[in-house]
A and B are shown apart, each in its own frame.
Chain A
């Protein structure tokens, strides 16, 4: 079942913060976050595993709430380069190597 992402779109000024959520109705094993710019390949941001720690690098971090089967991606002090569509991909298998089920994406527009 496809995870649900919210919001569908966000428009921010440079320097503002954003939170993107990804919810599943099915028990998750891992959540993978990607950013895709128009006409380009999805770029891997980070992965969160069941029982793992909150991840982050630079000004992008994410959390995984196992009780709610939900992950959130946090973008702080957003930069123009953060614009794009953010997808969460979910895995339900403990084997870890199955194909991902992606949400419909969140469009993020950063304005100067």
Chain B
């Protein structure tokens, strides 16, 4: 069974940093690209970042470019999102997501973790 389990989020002050992790299991992690997708309270889904299976290709949404860093450790079957210079508008549930093997859709989602940026 595919499982994606995000680390706990939390409350962070504006300008602060937080690192999210996602533990993957039930599939061959290093065969799949991975995404982070977020959802602000009461709002829609927003794609945040993507990383290819061997970390060769990395993409970011314009809203987080230069502030967030995606990475992965295939030996630990884990995905990470380092979030720096956090802003109030980064407040959201962050989902770890597996990109389908041959397309660009998400075929599996984590349960999500809430990150709140507030003073």
Whether A associates with B in a native complex is: no
A-to-B contact residues, CB < 8 Å: none
